[in-house]
Structure 1
Amino acid sequence: MLIGYPVALTLAGTSLVFAGIGIFFGVFDGSYLLATPSRLFGIVKNQTLIAVPLFVFMGVVLERSKIAEDLLVAMSGLLGRFKTGLGVSVVLVGMLLAASTGIVGATVVTMGLLSLPTMLKRGYSPSLATGTICATGTLGQIIPPSIALVLLGDVLSSAYQKAQLDMGIFSPDSVSVGDLFVGAIVPGFILVIFYLLYLWAVSKFSPSQVPAHGQESEHANLKSLLLALLPPLLLIIAVLGAILTGKATPTEAAAVGAIGSVFLALLKKKINGENTKYVVRETTKITSMVFLILIGASIFSLVFRGFGGEELLQAFFADLPGGVFTAVLLVMVVIFLLGFILDFIEITFVVVPIIAPILLMMGLDPIWLGIMIAVNLQTSFLTPPFGFALFYLRGVTSDTVKTEQIYKGVIPFIIIQLCLLILMAIWPGIITWLPSVLYGAN
Structure 2
Amino acid sequence: MAILAIILFISIFLLILYGYPVALTLGGLSVIYALCFLDPAAFSALPPRIMGVMSNYVLLAVPLFIYMGIMLERSGLAESLLETMAILFGKIKGGLAISVLIVGTMLAASTGIVGATVITMGLISLPVMLKRGYQPELATGTIASSGTLGQIIPPSIVLVLLGSVLNVSVGKLFAAALVPGMILVVAYIIYTLIFAHLRPELAPSIPPEEIEQFKSKDFGKKVVKAFVLPILLIVAVLGSIFAGIASPTEAAAVGALGASILTMIQGKFNLETLQSVMRETTHLTSMVFLILLGATTFSFVFREMQGDIFLVDLIRNSNLSPMIFLLLVMAIVFVAGFFIDFIEIIFIIVPVVSPIFVELNIDLIWIGILLALNLQTSFLTPPFGFSLFYLKGVAPPGVTTGHLYRGIIPFLVIQLLVLLLVVFFPDIALILVQ
Q: Could you state the TM-score of these two structures normalised by the residue count of structure 1?
A: 0.90
TM-aligned CA distance change 1:83 to 1:31, over 3 Å? farther
Partner of 1:123: 133
Counterpart CA distance in 1 for 2:352 and 2:91 is 51
* Residue pair 1:95, 1:136 contacting (<8 A) in 2 also: yes
Q: Which amino acid aligns with 2:33?
A: F
Partner of 2:344: 346
Counterpart CA distance in 1 for 2:357 and 2:320 is 14
Q: 2:193 aligned to 194, 200, 210, which one?
A: 200
Mind listing any 5+ residue stretches in structure 2 that lack a counterpart? 1-15
SS in 1 for 2:432: helix
* Residue pair 1:32, 1:303 contacting (<8 A) in 2 also: no
Counterpart CA distance in 1 for 2:119 and 2:42 is 43
Q: Which amino acid aligns with 1:194?
A: A
* Residue pair 2:86, 2:99 contacting (<8 A) in 1 also: yes
State the percentage of identical aligned residues.
53
Partner of 2:8: none
Q: Give 1:205 shift.
A: 3.6
Q: 1:363 aligned to 361, 364, 381, which one?
A: 361
Q: Give 1:124 shift.
A: 1.6
Q: Give 1:262 shift.
A: 1.4
Partner of 2:236: 238
Partner of 1:8: 23
SS in 2 for 1:2: helix
Counterpart CA distance in 1 for 2:144 and 2:310 is 39
SS in 2 for 1:100: helix
Q: Give 1:17 shift.
A: 2.8
Equivalent residue pairs, number: 413
Counterpart CA distance in 2 for 1:301 and 1:358 is 14
Mind listing any 5+ residue stretches in structure 1 that lack a counterpart? 158-174, 437-442
* Residue pair 1:183, 1:434 contacting (<8 A) in 2 also: yes
1:387 matched to 2:385? The reply is: yes
* Residue pair 2:101, 2:189 contacting (<8 A) in 1 also: yes
TM-aligned CA distance change 1:403 to 1:215, over 3 Å? same
Partner of 1:91: 101
Q: Give 1:210 shift.
A: 2.4
Q: 1:189 aligned to 149, 166, 182, which one?
A: 182
Counterpart CA distance in 2 for 1:103 and 1:279 is 14
* Residue pair 2:163, 2:170 contacting (<8 A) in 1 also: yes
* Residue pair 1:8, 1:292 contacting (<8 A) in 2 also: yes
* Residue pair 2:308, 2:355 contacting (<8 A) in 1 also: no
Partner of 2:165: 155
Q: Give 1:422 shift.
A: 1.0
Partner of 1:372: 370
1:219 matched to 2:229? The reply is: no
SS in 1 for 2:17: coil
* Residue pair 1:341, 1:385 contacting (<8 A) in 2 also: no
* Residue pair 2:138, 2:407 contacting (<8 A) in 1 also: yes
Q: Which amino acid aligns with 2:231?
A: L
Q: Give 1:214 shift.
A: 3.7
Counterpart CA distance in 2 for 1:124 and 1:9 is 45
Counterpart CA distance in 1 for 2:323 and 2:292 is 29
Counterpart CA distance in 2 for 1:29 and 1:374 is 37
Q: Which amino acid aligns with 1:198?
A: Y
Counterpart CA distance in 1 for 2:18 and 2:432 is 44
Counterpart CA distance in 1 for 2:44 and 2:342 is 28
Q: 1:19 aligned to 25, 34, 37, which one?
A: 34
Report 1:14-413 matches (<5 A): 14-20=29-35, 22-23=36-37, 28-157=38-167, 175-207=168-200, 209-211=202-204, 213-216=205-208, 217=211, 218-220=213-215, 221-413=219-411
Q: Give 1:16 shift.
A: 2.4
Q: Report the RMSD for the aligned CA atoms in angstroms.
A: 1.6
Q: Give 1:348 shift.
A: 0.7
Counterpart CA distance in 2 for 1:156 and 1:359 is 10
Counterpart CA distance in 2 for 1:11 and 1:357 is 20
SS in 1 for 2:382: coil
Q: Which sits farther off after the overlay, 187-196 or 75-84?
A: 75-84
Q: Which amino acid aligns with 1:83?
A: K
Q: Which amino acid aligns with 1:201?
A: I
* Residue pair 1:335, 1:377 contacting (<8 A) in 2 also: yes
Q: Which amino acid aligns with 2:126?
A: L
